[in-house]
Structure 1
Amino acid sequence: MSSRRTPARVDRRAFLRYSGAVGAAAAFTGTLAACGGPASTTRSGAATDGGAGGDTITAGISYALSTGFDPMTSSGATPVAANWHIFEGLVDLNPVDLSARPALATAMPAKVNATTYRATLREGATFHDGSAVTADDVVFSVERILDPKNASLMAQFLPFLDAARAVDTHTVEFTLKYPFALFPSRISVVKVVPKKIVQADEKAFDAEPVGSGPYALVSATREDKIVFRKYAKYNGRYPAKAASMTWNLLSDASARVSAMESGRVEAIEDVPYIDMAGLKRTSTVESAASFGNLFLMFNCAKKPFDDPRVRQALHYALDTEKIIATAMSGQATAASGYLQPSHPDYAKASTVYGHDPARARELLKAAGVSALKVTALTTDTSWVQDIAPLVKESWDAAGVRTTLDIGQSSAQYAKVDTGDYDLLVAPGDPSVFGNDVDLLMRWFYVGTWPQTRYHWSGTAKGKQVVSLLDQAARSADTAARTALWAQVNDIVADQVPLYPILHRKLPTAWNKSALAGFSPVPTTGLSFLGVSPS
């Protein structure tokens, strides 16, 4: 753990010097082992890392392996991105624009009636062990997600799904509990796994995944690298165009930039905002607008954070525009609703938090709170570290004495999950699982987060949010769904138990002459589907 105070005022030049010192001196707590997942796994015949060039794609990834690869439970940024290449669903999201497209299915699932859909598997699809992908594998993949004993993260996205059955070896039928118009795209959260291999040893499968995607995993070492090889028998729409890939896991931002500048890698994600201009001299650098946000979450079971006026006060106290300009080189948008303005279903919330310290003091006084002291947990992600001193500066200026506690994500969430915290400032981006409003809202406002992390699900407003989302899910009318989502948007913006401070742009750098067909993605991770070394 590290607690430190920052100067009362921080201009840009002093801020950059200060945040660099923080990054070098901090003694961050926790280990990735707390998150589970393999420390290292290697298949026989593993490829070696020969560096960039040739028929290999080499990349720099900003996150270590924090979970395993089993798509039923994997939530870490890096394994989720790896799984885009290893697994397929009947339908997958295009990582570049998050649109849904057929993958193992020959077409988008067809509607039979209001509560029944069918999908047909493509002929000749096989898993990386050479076995055929069958309808039984699809049914197995669905059922293990729906089984409460498995505690799958994906189950929360499928509350409408009653059952799946194999009509024949290549046809699957889905029965819904109620009509759900978003089913054809939402089924993308189910990645199809080989029943025989998973049943034989589920833990081994988590460490050494076997899918039907264009790349197969060769080896993975938690804080070092992931190696993939082309799956030659893949017969889908997006075959591998490189013989192999090596993803170097470079959580240190300067190490990623150095690797890109030296040519040791051909692409990096999460370019530090301060390095964007410099990298543009040698690389292509682009930012993608995203749902990815920095959010503020309160322990609503702890006084005085159970009072929405206190939560609102801390949002009004934030000088978000200064944070964006100073720490992010303008590469973000202050939240004016739950969704980012570039989202097709964006709606401005009835409450928008501009910088208003006077309003913050009024709200604290109305709540009967004086001389408020807070300990703000933040994660050690590089861009969050850059922002943390300015968060403290904003709150201190509004009379809130703030202590920063910066630590590894696993350690910080361990505190959150035991209730040992005041508030958390952290990044979040469920759009890796889907981009529709229902999914994006359910991630943070239904289930685990409100029940066990910010303790809001038992409140009247918390229950109302769930009810409204359920009503929207059951509605076949687009306008009615939109109106219900707008109500949720307004409630969470007013109550702010967990709410975005800003939506960031994600800068990616790559060597355009070395990678043909590459595009940055609006989520964490890199996609090399359809990309070839040149």
Structure 2
Amino acid sequence: MGRGSDAAGDRRLPRRSRRDLPAGNPDGRANERGARRLTTRTLEEGLMNEHKLSRRTALKLGAGAAALAGLPWMNSAALAADELRAGIAGFNVINTLDPARASLVPEFYVIYGAFNGLLKFNEKMEIVPDLAESYATVDPTTVEFKLRKGVKFHDGNEMTAEDVKFSIERVMDEKLASPNRGKVTAIASVTAVDPYTVRITTKTPYAPLLNYLTNTRTGTQIVSKKAVEAAGEGFGRKPVGTGAFMVKDWKSNESVDMVAFDDYFGGKPKIRSVKIPIIAEESSGMTAILGGQVDLTSTAPFADVPALEKRTSEVKVLKQPGLNTRYFALNVTKAPFDDVHFRRAVSMAFDRNVLVKAAIFGEGVAIPGVLPPSLWPEGKGFHSDYTSFNPQKAKQELAKSKYGPGTEATVIVWGSNWWRRTGEIMVGMVNQTLGTKFQLQAMEFNAAFAKAKAGDYQALVFGWLGLVDPDEYLGEILGSTGFRNIQGYSSPKMDDLLEKARAEMDPAKRRQIYREADLLAVEDMPVLPCFCSNVHNLLRPNVQGFNQLPYSNFADQFAHMTVG
């Protein structure tokens, strides 16, 4: 997961970070007695003071550059002005570059530049044509797309309606088991009317359709039918799209090299090559950009943003409220989280404002529900007692539960930095408030997600970064068939609300239905909503043309960028 996953990407816990966990077992489990002694004030002050020290260290570029010098993606040779070094920071896993199979944020960071969708978001987050030249609604269940003529794939073949039909039906195919399949299950048929006309018909009116056809984390990017059929399972290693850049080389968990595609329909890119190092730690990405080793990073350490914003001669900081939601996923099929009163008690036993202040250093806002505030016209959610810190009510709710003080549970954390701190703070405060014996277990993300998908866990720090439609959040996370529903949560009422909202074409009425669904989520509490964090990018002062969007875009901007 990552800054941008939203539960999608791997921030592996470095060896030294295990020493920073509360004292306990060698596997990273916290000593619950030590955690219970932590007060809200010591949690907040201790974590912030600890990070101030690491920040001072990280900003000493001499030491930072020396530490980075041995990394395999470093290149001390002088670089041409037409080469971009764009670091994906805070992740160390890319499993595939096949859009239909991709699920991790760093995978899509690269996919954005190698592929296109029928549609895309512009700088105002408005949906506009991309591979489609235009589109029109034929009737409430049918949209027709007129394709651009002469668009070439990286293999030289022209893109046609057959490629579009193949690409979307491939994601729809149950046998492929695409993690993005839920976005297209409402589609009844895809018809190639002629070589440059595609008609998509849905089973019922389906409001999210256009969002799910954009070049974002949708999986509906258009692939070459011939290339996929020729490559088979190997397509994810050697992707063929229509994007401004082609994948030249890919070293797993190390780097991706891209080169300009001169036949790109949007015009020949000025940047001729892109080196994309995969940098596990955000702080290392920051040190690399300040030391001149990279030109762009996908994110920045929360604690260092204020200091970086003052270093205008060395770095440009882009920042805005994000379209993400951070939460604790609870396995509602296993004790003790199979009890709704226990889940509610835990939710009221920790302070989300402390998380914002101490885990992400003020770079975000606490949220009362699953949906990020930016999705509401008023820019905020709603108030709920169940997501407000209230020790007295938490204890009262615990008294209604079949579990009580002394209840044990393991909370899985992964990565380092703010993901880990979020788990530390929550466990410490809940144990202190309720007298429970929660423990932390640290592991790398792929292992954590595998356990979660198998239902082999109790609680997990998690998150998701969607698009601009509430269905991307509530449907994915809480729908009975949602790919990111790892909680085992299944509610006929929730599923009915989601289906009703998807079929409602009036935006105001849709928002009201999703408001009801979000309130139901808080009542049932299969996840503990925490906060929405800001989106950041770091750029060298000589880099121009990167337009930051709130869903954490990346390689989709390379075609328009220059390095002066």
* Equivalent position of 2:389 in the other structure: 355
Query: Secondary structure of the residue that 1:342 maps to in structure 2?
Result: helix
Query: Secondary structure of the residue that 1:454 maps to in structure 2?
Result: coil
* Equivalent position of 2:19 in the other structure: none
RMSD: 2.5
- Alpha-carbon contact 1:60-1:250 (below 8 Å) kept: yes
- Alpha-carbon contact 1:52-1:266 (below 8 Å) kept: no
Task: Quickly say closer, same or farther: Cα 1:438–1:376, change in 2 above 3 A.
Answer: same
CA–CA distance in structure 1, aligned partners of residues 352 and 139 of structure 2? 48
1:149 aligns with 2:184: no
- Alpha-carbon contact 1:384-1:427 (below 8 Å) kept: no
Q: CA deviation at 1:402?
A: 1.9
- Alpha-carbon contact 2:451-2:457 (below 8 Å) kept: yes
1:104 aligns with 2:131: yes
1:332 aligns with 2:364: yes
Q: How does 1:72-221 map to 2 (within 5 A)?
A: 72-94=100-122, 98-107=125-134, 109-188=135-214, 189=218, 190-221=220-251
- Alpha-carbon contact 2:117-2:221 (below 8 Å) kept: yes
1:58 aligns with 2:93: no
Deviation larger for 382-391 or 521-530? 521-530
Structure 2, gaps ≥5 residues long: 1-26, 55-74
Q: How does 1:493-504 map to 2 (within 5 A)?
A: 493-504=522-533
* Equivalent position of 1:384 in the other structure: 419
1:320 aligns with 2:352: yes
* Equivalent position of 1:40 in the other structure: none
Task: Quickly say closer, same or farther: Cα 1:50–1:172, change in 2 above 3 A.
Answer: farther
Q: CA deviation at 1:61?
A: 1.0
* Equivalent position of 1:522 in the other structure: 550
Structure 1, gaps ≥5 residues long: 23-47
Q: CA deviation at 1:348?
A: 2.7
Amino acid at match of 2:546: F
1:424 to 442, 460, 469: 460
- Alpha-carbon contact 1:220-1:226 (below 8 Å) kept: yes
1:289 aligns with 2:321: yes
| Cα displacement string for residues 506-526 of structure 1 (whole angstroms, at most 9, x for unaligned residues) | 222212x32112233323453
Amino acid at match of 1:376: V
Deviation larger for 377-386 or 49-58? 49-58
- Alpha-carbon contact 2:480-2:495 (below 8 Å) kept: no
CA–CA distance in structure 1, aligned partners of residues 298 and 408 of structure 2? 36
Task: Quickly say closer, same or farther: Cα 1:49–1:68, change in 2 above 3 A.
Answer: farther
2:516 to 459, 482, 487: 487
Task: Quickly say closer, same or farther: Cα 1:482–1:258, change in 2 above 3 A.
Answer: closer
Task: Quickly say closer, same or farther: Cα 1:419–1:116, change in 2 above 3 A.
Answer: closer
Query: Secondary structure of the residue that 2:180 maps to in structure 1?
Result: helix
Query: Secondary structure of the residue that 1:412 maps to in structure 2?
Result: helix
Amino acid at match of 1:77: V
Q: Provide TM-score, normalisation by structure 1.
A: 0.87
Kindly tell me the number of residue pairs found equivalent between the two proteins: 499
| Cα displacement string for residues 278-326 of structure 1 (whole angstroms, at most 9, x for unaligned residues) | 3332312232211222211111111231221111111111121112112
Query: Secondary structure of the residue that 1:254 maps to in structure 2?
Result: helix
CA–CA distance in structure 1, aligned partners of residues 340 and 211 of structure 2? 35
Q: Provide TM-score, normalisation by structure 2.
A: 0.83
Query: Secondary structure of the residue that 1:201 maps to in structure 2?
Result: helix
Query: Secondary structure of the residue that 2:157 maps to in structure 1?
Result: coil
CA–CA distance in structure 1, aligned partners of residues 402 and 178 of structure 2? 42
Task: Quickly say closer, same or farther: Cα 1:51–1:326, change in 2 above 3 A.
Answer: farther
* Equivalent position of 1:300 in the other structure: 332
Task: Quickly say closer, same or farther: Cα 1:117–1:418, change in 2 above 3 A.
Answer: closer
Task: Quickly say closer, same or farther: Cα 1:393–1:20, change in 2 above 3 A.
Answer: farther
Task: Quickly say closer, same or farther: Cα 1:493–1:127, change in 2 above 3 A.
Answer: same
| % same residue | 23
- Alpha-carbon contact 1:299-1:454 (below 8 Å) kept: yes
* Equivalent position of 1:400 in the other structure: 436
Deviation larger for 472-481 or 444-453? 444-453
2:97 to 56, 69, 81: 69
Task: Quickly say closer, same or farther: Cα 1:230–1:176, change in 2 above 3 A.
Answer: same
Deviation larger for 412-421 or 463-472? 412-421
* Equivalent position of 1:367 in the other structure: 401
CA–CA distance in structure 2, aligned partners of residues 447 and 377 of structure 1? 23
* Equivalent position of 2:474 in the other structure: 441
CA–CA distance in structure 2, aligned partners of residues 343 and 283 of structure 1? 30
* Equivalent position of 2:62 in the other structure: none
Query: Secondary structure of the residue that 2:210 maps to in structure 1?
Result: helix
